[in-house]
Chains A and B, each alone.
Chain A
């Protein structure tokens, strides 16, 4: 396609041809440059997505029979208390992890942006440590901290004279446990995003506010938050999409019950339910139906986000 340019000739026509060729080349080049991404996206992104919709219409045993069942998988899903339970768990864990996580990240970013902070780089880089730690390792350590008999948390409760709490056994306990793991991992990442955005805010703004007598809280309230609004929306969206797909933590945090995150499925998320159906029981069709439901939910959340972002953009000059 991009053969070496033809040797220049004296006549007018070839020159014109060459110009057209060059124009074509210039117009094509960008597509060629982005082609690798899109090829990969079609193979690993779009095709699996569409194929999932197809599989969801079947009773599909990967090594046995497959039978077209229409929308029966979805009818079954709507009627399945395990699905609604997983949906409840997913949203509950999402709220419990995202809200404190983003609030904390905001506060920490505000502090890290402070002029007089010593060893700022050290503090900023250390925010990334939980993020680069393996999820599996984090999960196993946290699960032990929350253990009923020998967990450090219950040891503290015991010192204070409280009875031990069986976190993994209860709905709220297990949700809090997983939310803490998620927040631990993602707070630093979001802090850095906020910090990067904060550093584009002119320092004079803060200084002027300080001269006018604004304390730290007022500066935070009236400068930091408005300046960060677009990035806040961005992080809310990414953590929501991520939050709807939490998988490793519930898989490893509560090994009791195999793929159910507890004996009563108390912390089984949608992705874990999908995995249990598709790869624990080889019900590919049913698992795919869960995937489609999850997809629809992510699309709805993304649409809400799009509306929010456009509103914020139009508010700002």
Chain B
């Protein structure tokens, strides 16, 4: 019975969201004084530190920070709010959710009218492009990027007779093919799998290293025609068939367990993953190190701050962005919280270069991760990118789970994407 009630309640909630869509029902409550504003963030990124720091400097400003939920829950809440509820003055949007909102840029303030046009040069070009609408409106200011690297277990590498020094290890795999070779060596020496899985650790990275992804330069869907996508897909199948994968899907219960038990010796990891490894596998402290990603560049993750058009106090929200997301502000966040700055001017700052991570054998994470994001080529990321990406990834996961033959994988993937793009 409870089940029925719960479901009924969720349907009712869903309907309420829809009800909110009727024109003219815009919320009219909220603070109107210029000294306070409301800020929606998601959990796990710790905006509290920034907010506290800002409040300390500006005791007259009152910031109401709400951690709505996960990144996608926050995006859902924002969608409902934009559709007719009470909107926050400032909202943090995860990079993967941004393209959906970029489709209807009129829901947001054009930040260039507030001064973002003067700041845009401070940020990485390809990051800024993603939050700039076709007509030049700036919807979001980037707060951080993921960057990419490979983390590996020095103890397991040593046991397999591989070098353990991070510079030497990085030299082992300038390309993904070389990476697969190292993996094979490891498997031969130890009889154990080398990599956590191929869909996330290979495909998800390699597909981002091209000059175009699922849309072409005219912003038309081209996932089925772009040779770079097919190449990344085939590469993943090839690495899978070389037998180095532990076939443990990312984020599954076995994945975190495998991390601490040494079931695999290497995995691709963006900067924010380092915290996840520390939390999931605390016993492995000092056994990891960080090497460059094959292909040299890559990014996974990153977020943007945006101001909804109906915000009550856009000025206060903008002042916050301007101060906390300045190069200096982002550097401070990196030094205390580890979120990678999007402002290349601080990439040579000695404080960033000297930042090391004891859990990862004192790897200079600031240096390694920033180097992975400076050479990224900007390509258009459209509203269907997340859907296409997850369908391709899921098909490759099915291959690893033995449910799809590698020979049929590409056709299966195209069918799945086509189905997913309907509706």
Which residues of A does B touch, CB under 8 Å? 44-45, 47-49, 51-52, 55, 60-64, 66, 73, 76-77, 80-82, 131, 143-144, 147-151, 166, 168-170, 186, 189, 238, 241-242, 245-248, 255-258, 260, 263-264, 271, 277-284, 286-287, 291
Residues of chain A lying within 8 A (CB to CB) of residue B4: 238, 241-242, 245
Cβ of B249 under 8 Å from chain A = yes
**Nearest chain A CB to B335's CB is how many angstroms away?**
32
Given A62-B17, A277-B423, also A282-B100 (CB < 8 A): yes
Q: A63-B79, A257-B397, A263-B249 are in contact. Are A291 and B11 (CB under 8 A)?
A: yes
Chain A residues with CB under 8 Å of B101's CB are: 63
CB distance from A315 to the nearest CB of B (A): 26
B95 to chain A minimum Cβ distance, whole angstroms, is 16
Instruction: Report the separation of the CA atoms of residues A248 and B2 in the bound assembly, to the nearest whole angstrom.
Output: 13
**A-contact bits for B229-270, CB 8 A (1 contact / 0 none):** 000000000000000000011111110011000010000000
Asked if A169 and B253 make an inter-chain contact with CB atoms under 8 angstroms apart, the answer reads no
B104 touches A63 (CB 8 A): yes
B421 nearest CB across to chain A (Å): 10
The answer to whether B19 has its CB under 8 Å from any CB of chain A is yes
- State whether B390 touches A257 (Cβ < 8 A): yes
Once bound together, how far apart are the Cα atoms of A108 and B423, in whole Å? 46
Q: Which residue of A is nearest B22, CB measured?
A: A51
Q: B15 touching A48 by the CB < 8 A rule?
A: yes
A45 touching B263 by the CB < 8 A rule?
no
- Within B313-365, which residues are at the interface with A (CB < 8 Å)? none
- Contact: A168 with B252, CB < 8 Å? yes
A48→B16 CA distance, assembly (Å): 7
Residues of B within 8 A of A60 (CB): 21
Q: A62-B21, A245-B4 are in contact. Are A278 and B14 (CB under 8 A)?
A: yes
Whether A76 and B422, one on each chain, are in contact in the complex, defined by CB atoms closer than 8 angstroms, is yes
> B residues within 8 A CB of A257?
390, 394, 397
Distance of A258 Cα from B251 Cα, bound (Å): 10
Contact between B76 and A279 (Cβ–Cβ < 8 Å)? yes
B165 to chain A, nearest CB (A): 30
Rounded to whole angstroms, the CA-CA distance of A82 and B253 in the bound complex is: 26
- B7-A63 in contact (CB<8A): no
- Contact yes or no, B103 A48, CB < 8 A: no
Complex: A143 Cα to B254 Cα, angstroms: 10
- Let me know if A61 and B104 touch, CB within 8 A: yes
Can you list 28 contacts pairing A with B, beta carbon distance less than 8 Å?
A44-B12, A47-B15, A48-B11, A48-B12, A48-B16, A49-B15, A62-B79, A63-B104, A76-B422, A77-B423, A147-B254, A149-B257, A151-B254, A238-B4, A246-B3, A247-B6, A256-B250, A256-B251, A256-B394, A257-B390, A257-B397, A263-B393, A263-B394, A263-B397, A264-B403, A264-B404, A271-B7, A286-B423
